Amino acid sequence: MEQQRVLVYRPEGLTPPALPWQVRSVGWRRLGGPWREAHPPRPFVQIWWGESGQGELRGAGGRVLTLGPGSVAWFLPNEPHRISCHGPWTYRWLTLDFGDIAAFLAACGYDHRQRLLEPGCAAPTALFERLSAELSDPRGARRAFATAVQILTQAVEPPPVDDDPLVSRCLSLIESDFRDPQCGVASLAEALRVHRATLHRRCQRVWGMGPGPRLQGCRLAALLDALGNAPGSIAAIARSCGFEDPAYAARVVRRATGLPPRALRGLVQ
């Protein structure tokens, strides 16, 4: 069965800042077929957000949570569970520890009697990617905390739908042209016939980030995916994903995952 996984842990050996809780890990997983896995009791909160396909999380007492696209499931510390799927399934997750996380979640609107949430919006991919980069940064604990709060909030209070046509056209251009190293904020603004400051402001309002980070996020996601199955050198793969400088691509991968590209070629297979 084919599977791909990217997992980022916070750096070890650091004195964490005085925050209500800490982000422990963040990850992404794609399963290609039937899968079963048991999770024993663990001392941290787990949040799951479905991207595509469908899987099941079976908790204590036989409770079954069906996690599909846009669904969110969560478990408190020391709650054992099993995960399974019968077909393709892709999801993102994050884990939290230290502090009274249960009380924090309750204040955010999480009801312990309702472990499956239906926020009605897709997984906030850009926030999860930002969290990966912040968590791998030894100085990024506070920023990671702030981003995690945004993710937790969106699960119970989805952001209002914003149909800004300029931002929609910008996303279409990014998704179609990100493999071209010449595609950048300046070329996007020129193609859309707006000042780059205007484009940044409107993208920031809708995505929570400017077009530059969104463009790099697409390139990074493509590179992480290609590292698992694409032939050829890492430099050639990086260039095919839009990175003009393979050395810079390697730094981007290391910031996001804590590992060099050559190590990920084995981990994401």
Q: Are 58 and 81 in contact (CB under 8 A)?
A: yes
Which pairing describes strands 81-85 and 22-31: parallel, antiparallel, or unpaired?
Answer: unpaired
Residue bearing the bigger pLDDT, 256 or 10: 10
pLDDT score for 268? 40
Q: Where are the domains of the chain?
A: 3-156, 165-267
**Coil, helix or strand for 261?**
helix
pLDDT score for 267? 47
Q: What fold does the segment set 3-156 form as a domain?
A: Jelly Rolls (2.60.120)
Q: Do domains 3-156 and 165-267 have the same CATH topology?
A: no
- Please say if the pLDDT value at position 153 is more than 80: yes
Q: What is the pTM of this model?
A: 0.63
- Please say if the pLDDT value at position 23 is more than 90: yes
pLDDT score for 202? 87
- Please say if the pLDDT value at position 33 is more than 60: yes
Look up residue 179 and give its two tokens.
């493999």
Distance CA 93, CA 237 (A): 27
Confidence label for 255 from pLDDT (cuts 50, 70 and 90)? confident
In percent, the amount of the chain with pLDDT more than 90 equals: 51
Which pairing describes strands 3-9 and 35-39: parallel, antiparallel, or unpaired?
Answer: unpaired
Q: Integer distance in angstroms from the first to the last C-alpha of the chain? A: 11
**Coil, helix or strand for 92?**
strand
Q: Which CATH number does 165-267 carry?
A: 1.10.10.60
Mean pLDDT of the 143-172 span: 85
* pLDDT tens, residue by residue, 108-151: 889 888 899 988 778 888 899 999 999 988 888 999 999 999 99
Q: Is 174 exposed, middle or buried (0-12, 13-18, 19+ CB in 10 A)?
A: buried
